[in-house]
């Protein structure tokens, strides 16, 4: 004999007049293994339930979600619903009047003394007016374990009050198990002119404002789409109105969410089922029902592989006939009943009490007391995580002033998406494999493959270090002689405690034979006009530069004594000019007053010793000399003057 197991298929939806809406019949059954010819009872039920909110500013009773839901990093499994277009995980106000209706309103009934908008999901938050005859607020739980959904709908609820009741609001929120996503759908939010003076979510003195968004339990973190925040604005969506709008809120950290528009696709909630609304059919005869009502009992038949249940009736806020179909499929195993599953590396898949994490094929033999066994196979594929190797990774990066640094992944994937984060918050628009940082913070990047496998990189801490402050002490407005020695000084700025400065001057050559090119004060010899650059470094490696122009000129005047005493006493025994740096004596000729050449470069280094060429002493009188020399500019100069010999 052959065993079977019961599986869900996705619901098939048929709608009349409304596109992209979906709903599901909640099938109830027990997973079992049996044999053909055994009894099987199949049941369908709908969990749509109305709340007890039929008066103004009312909170519902505590409502279990049916699963654990993580919101701003904290786990909740129950909530309460407000008649004013929001739900909250703060259940202390359950079944009470006094639900707030404008932004920042404290508990008017003294329940908890804090702003009731905290720890709340605001869908179309404003002053609404449900009543026993106008507006319906209801909820429904849908889906299987691991993929459950909790749906809340505000169905055709009027705005408070008087002529404002002509404005009718329909909206919905869906909380998702596992992903912890929040979807919000607004079927109708009519434009409410400010002049209408209808109560506003922004406060009792403002009009037409409606809030949508998320807020944590102490009010320190909030996320609102543009123009849906509490700020008073003529562009607020409550003033402009919207229809068939969808918005997805996805957690990106323990305290952050991304917000993205999505296609309008709300769930249709079915309030109740009457016997004629549900009909059951077999695979072999899809036209003849085998039963009506919430349950049907059959005897399993190896020739019947599935049963179909149809719902035909009213669903959703808008009137109209709708048809929903779900299928109970019966498998009678032969050799194998194969389950194919894909997981991400680093995760496990639980199958018949065992956890698997390696790719491969796994078999399980199920035995029953009835004597028919099933051999089941798991085909497990493990998809790799994205490669998060970073190029030239460093855990810390120090930037100077307005500098920047590029963070990049070494091996980005062509089908992988990326989101860079700073201090745990996503950076808007930073969705490439690399990101240029200019601000301090702790950075990382989360990558998600096309198989929805995600991984976050190592963190990089970026600091902004101060730059040094220094300038060159201004030079006097003067031109120095070529080959002169000039002193230059740096004027330091305010040096922080524990810091130090390193001073370097360039070009290095003018300072080479004097002070060297390092230090806050240097001395150099300049042969020509030179632009001097001072570079100042601090302990972080940050630097600043300053420049000054050293102007020079060739100073070509030669100084020579007008008298000397060649008496051998070691003082003024030679006549020789006093050359400046860069000057070279080419020739020196001396004549007596008769024009006779007395000296002609005989000892050019020492000069004339006061004697004739024959060695006799020159008389004490005035002599003429002709000097030729070069200067720093490379030109040849002559000088004619007289010198007196003293005896």
CATH number at residue 567: 2.60.40
Looking at residue 60, its pLDDT comes to: 94
SS3 of 94, please?
coil
340, 346, 349, 355 alpha-carbon torsion, rounded to 10°: 130
One domain for residues 545 and 588: no
Averages of pLDDT over runs of 10 residues in the chain (647 residues) are 26 30 50 63 71 90 95 96 95 88 59 71 95 91 84 95 94 96 97 88 82 93 94 91 96 95 89 73 88 85 80 76 72 62 92 88 69 74 94 92 92 94 95 95 96 94 90 86 88 78 92 90 90 92 92 84 89 87 86 90 84 88 90 82 89
Looking at residue 46, its pLDDT comes to: 60
SS3 of 591, please?
strand
How many structural domains is the chain composed of?
Answer: 6
Is there a contact between 150 and 237 (Cβ–Cβ < 8 Å)?
A: no
Which residues constitute the domain of residue 589? 563-645
Point out the domain boundary residue: 449, 465, 481.
Answer: 465
One domain for residues 494 and 436: no
Residue 388 domain flag = no
One domain for residues 120 and 138: yes
One domain for residues 219 and 342: no
What is d(CA 19, CA 88) in angstroms, rounded to the nearest whole number?
A: 30
194 phi, psi to nearest 5 deg: -60, -35
Residue 100 domain flag = yes
Residue 515 domain flag = yes
Looking at residue 28, its pLDDT comes to: 52
Looking at residue 373, its pLDDT comes to: 62
DSSP helix, strand, coil percent of the chain (3-state; round to 5) = 5, 45, 50
One domain for residues 129 and 178: yes
One domain for residues 61 and 203: yes
What is d(CA 549, CA 558) in angstroms, rounded to the nearest whole number?
A: 27
Name every residue whose Cβ is closer than 8 Å to that of residue 101 and which is 6 or more positions away in sequence.
57, 84, 126, 127, 128, 160, 199, 201
pTM of structure: 0.49
One domain for residues 541 and 586: no
Looking at residue 14, its pLDDT comes to: 27
Looking at residue 321, its pLDDT comes to: 67
One domain for residues 82 and 219: yes
25, 31, 35, 36 alpha-carbon torsion, rounded to 10°: 0
What token pair was written down for 272? 């109740």
Long-range contacts of 567-575 (CB under 8 A, 24+ apart): 567/647, 573/609, 573/610, 574/606, 574/607, 574/608, 574/609, 574/610, 575/607, 575/608, 575/610, 575/625, 575/643
One domain for residues 31 and 75: no
Looking at residue 423, its pLDDT comes to: 95
One domain for residues 169 and 73: yes
One domain for residues 366 and 476: no
Point out the domain boundary residue: 311, 330, 349.
Answer: 330
Centroid of chain to Cα 610: 91
One domain for residues 163 and 292: no
Name every residue whose Cβ is closer than 8 Å to that of residue 428 and which is 6 or more positions away in sequence.
none
What is d(CA 532, CA 505) in angstroms, rounded to the nearest whole number?
A: 7
Residue 119 domain flag = yes
Residue 237 domain flag = yes
Cα dihedral 634, 635, 636, 642 sign: negative
**Residue of 189, 184, 204 lying closest to 159 (CA atoms):** 189
Is there a contact between 431 and 419 (Cβ–Cβ < 8 Å)?
A: yes
Residue 597 domain flag = yes
Residue 539 domain flag = yes
Residue 451 domain flag = yes
What is d(CA 284, CA 475) in angstroms, rounded to the nearest whole number?
A: 105
User: In which element (H, E) is residue 239 found?
Assistant: helix 237-240
């Amino acid at each position: 004999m052959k065993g079977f197991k019961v599986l869900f298929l996705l619901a098939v939806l048929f709608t009349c007049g409304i596109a992209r809406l979906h709903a599901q019949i909640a099938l109830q059954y027990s997973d079992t293994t049996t044999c053909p010819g055994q009894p099987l009872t199949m049941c369908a039920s709908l969990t749509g339930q109305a709340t007890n909110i039929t008066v103004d500013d009312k909170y519902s009773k505590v409502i279990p979600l049916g699963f654990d839901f993580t919101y701003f990093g904290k786990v909740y499994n129950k909530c309460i619903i407000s008649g004013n277009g929001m739900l909250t995980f703060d259940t202390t106000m359950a079944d009470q009047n006094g639900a707030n209706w404008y932004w920042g309103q404290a508990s008017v009934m003294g329940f908890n003394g804090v702003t009731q908008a905290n720890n709340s999901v605001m869908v179309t938050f404003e002053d609404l007016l449900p009543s026993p005859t106008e507006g319906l607020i209801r909820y429904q739980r849908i889906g299987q374990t691991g993929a459950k959904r909790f749906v809340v709908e505000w169905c055709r609820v009027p705005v408070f009050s008087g002529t404002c009741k002509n404005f009718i609001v329909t909206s919905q929120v869906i909380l998702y198990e596992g992903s912890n996503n929040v979807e919000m759908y607004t079927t109708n939010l009519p434009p409410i002119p400010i002049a209408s003076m209808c109560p506003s979510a922004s406060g009792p003195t403002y009009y037409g404002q409606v809030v949508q968004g998320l807020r944590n339990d102490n009010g320190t973190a909030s996320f609102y789409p543009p123009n849906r925040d509490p700020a008073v604005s003529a562009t607020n969506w409550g003033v402009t109105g919207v229809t068939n709008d969808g918005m997805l809120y996805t957690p990106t950290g323990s305290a952050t969410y991304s917000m993205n528009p999505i296609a309008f696709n709300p769930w249709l909630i079915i309030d109740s089922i009457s016997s004629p609304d549900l009909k059951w059919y077999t695979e072999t005869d899809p036209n003849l029902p085998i039963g009506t009502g919430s349950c049907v009992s059959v005897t399993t038949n190896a020739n019947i592989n599935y049963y179909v249940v149809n719902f035909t009736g009213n669903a959703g806020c808008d009137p109209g006939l709708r048809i929903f179909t779900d299928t109970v499929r019966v498998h009678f195993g032969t050799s194998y009943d194969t389950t194919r599953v894909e997981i991400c590396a680093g995760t496990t898949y639980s199958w018949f009490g065992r956890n698997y994490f390696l790719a491969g094929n796994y078999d399980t033999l199920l035995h029953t007391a009835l004597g028919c066994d099933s051999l089941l196979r798991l085909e497990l594929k493990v998809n790799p995580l994205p490669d998060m190797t970073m190029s030239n990774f460093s855990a810390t990066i120090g930037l100077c002033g307005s500098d920047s640094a590029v963070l990049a992944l070494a091996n980005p994937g062509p089908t992988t998406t990326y989101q860079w984060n700073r201090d745990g918050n996503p950076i808007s628009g930073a969705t490439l494999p690399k990101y240029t940082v200019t601000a301090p913070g702790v950075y990382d990047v989360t990558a998600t493959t096309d198989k929805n496998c995600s991984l976050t990189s190592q963190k990089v801490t970026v600091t902004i270090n101060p730059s040094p402050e220094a300038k060159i002490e201004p030079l006097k407005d003067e031109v120095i002689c070529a080959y002169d020695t000039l002193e230059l000084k740096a004027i330091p700025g305010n040096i922080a405690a524990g810091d130090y400065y390193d001073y370097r001057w360039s070009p290095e050559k003018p300072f080479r034979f004097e002070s060297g090119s390092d230090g806050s004060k240097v001395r150099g010899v300049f042969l020509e006009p030179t632009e001097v650059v001072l570079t100042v470094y601090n302990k972080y490696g940050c630097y600043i530069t300053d420049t000054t122009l050293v102007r020079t000129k060739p100073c070509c005047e030669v100084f020579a004594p007008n008298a000397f005493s060649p008496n051998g006493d070691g003082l003024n025994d030679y006549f020789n000019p006093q050359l400046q740096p860069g000057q070279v004596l080419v020739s020196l000729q001396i004549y007596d007053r008769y024009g006779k050449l007395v000296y002609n470069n005989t000892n050019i280094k020492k000069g004339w010793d006061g004697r004739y060429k024959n060695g006799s002493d020159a008389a004490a009188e005035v002599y003429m000399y002709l000097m030729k020399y070069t200067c720093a500019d490379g030109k040849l100069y002559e000088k004619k003057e007289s010198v007196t010999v003293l005896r």
